[in-house]
Amino acid sequence: MRKLSVIKLVIVSILLAGCSYFEEGDIIATVNGRNVTEQEFDAYLTLKRIQIRDDKHRSVLLEQYLQRDALSQVIENTYGDVAKSAAAAELDEFRRQMNISRYFEQYLKDAVTEQKISNYYAANEAQYSDTKVHVAHVLFRLKKGMTEAERKAKLTTATEAWSKLKAGEDFGKIADDYSEDRISAKKGGDLGWLKKGSIDPKFSMKIFEMNKNDISEPFETSFGYHIVKIIEEPKTVKKPFEAVKGDIRYLLRQQSKDAELDRLKAQTNIELRN
């Protein structure tokens, strides 16, 4: 892509210079008095990324190229002002786009190096770490619109289940018998490893202050009443550098580009005139 951009920039410069760049070279055709050289046609093929298959294919492409050139000349000579102004506008816009994109392509390459990405990762370790805990629960759902009596009945059932757990009954069996979260109930109430902050705040606060094998009393969240058991204590897992490298590069490039845009804009002077 970068090679193509360089070629496009050369072509634009040539067009703006009246094609003088191609005047020297092997002349392969003359279109309305203008010489077309081998170098000019080869540059066109490179620009379009056209691979020549054989001599016949090349002849066809050359004929098409010359026909378009001839047609363009006729239109320019007949409707010169319109054609020239339109072409100039397109070339000028292309020049602006190329100036900006090529500058930032090189600037960001220099500004956001592999070392800077690595340094950012090391300096923001907490940002790329997750604290998780392995937990199981028994859920007694509370639905919107429940009466106070219905809510108390749910709490009574939850307390009954908790009493059985205190008496030594198996957590998995209690989950299977009582839990209204049937997906986890089939696995003994196991919710797997939960990331801190990714769940109901009350639930998260509770489970991250407990220790391994602790079983909580029934407590309420936005989902209902829970009894939870800590299967494995919380641990902090750092995301591998390779897993977040792309995100860090994107972030640093965006920050660098924004800062450089602000610096460049500070050097501009735009005056609107009525």
Whole-angstrom CA distances from 162 to 31, 165, 169, 215, 221 are 94, 5, 9, 9, 17
110/104 Cα distance (integer angstroms): 10
Phi, psi at 224, each rounded to 5°: 145, -155
User: Whose CA is closest to 206, among 191, 184, 188?
Assistant: 191
Phi, psi at 56, each rounded to 5°: -65, -45
CA angle 168, 225, 173 (to 5 degrees): 35
Q: Which domains does the chain possess?
A: 2-111 (no CATH), 130-238 (3.10.50.40)
**Tokens standing for 38?**
């081998």
Residue 29 pLDDT exceeds 70? yes
Query: pLDDT per residue over 197-256, tens digit each?
Result: 888 999 999 999 999 999 999 999 999 999 999 999 999 888 899 999 999 999 999 999
Q: Is the dihedral of CA 55, 59, 65, 70 positive or negative?
A: positive
255-266 average pLDDT score: 94
Query: pLDDT per residue over 105-142, tens digit each?
Result: 999 999 999 999 999 999 998 889 889 999 999 999 99
Judge contact between 189 and 171, C-beta under 8 A: yes
Q: Which residue has the tokens 């005056």?
A: 271
Return all residues near 260 (Cβ < 8 A) that are at least 6 apart.
104, 107, 111
Query: What pLDDT does 80 receive?
Result: 67
268 pLDDT tier (thresholds 50, 70, 90): confident
Judge contact between 175 and 226, C-beta under 8 A: no
Query: pLDDT per residue over 155-180, tens digit each?
Result: 999 999 999 999 999 999 999 999 99
Q: What is the DSSP track for the chain?
A: -HHHHHHHHHHHHHHHTTTGGGSSS-EEEEETTEEEEHHHHHHHHHHTTPPP-SHHHHHHHHHHHHHHHHHHHHHHHHSHHHHHHHHHHHHHHHHHHHHHHHHHHHHHHHHS-HHHHHHHHHHTGGGGEEEEEEEEEEEEE--TT--HHHHHHHHHHHHHHHHHHHTT--HHHHHHHH-S-HHHHTTTTEEEEEETTSS-HHHHHHHTT--TT-BPPPEE-SSEEEEEEEEEEEEEEEPPHHHHHHHHHHHHHHHHHHHHHHHHHTT-------
CA angle 241, 111, 246 (to 5 degrees): 25
**Tokens standing for 117?**
């990405």
Residue 6 pLDDT exceeds 90? no
Give percent of the chain with pLDDT exceeding 70. Answer: 89
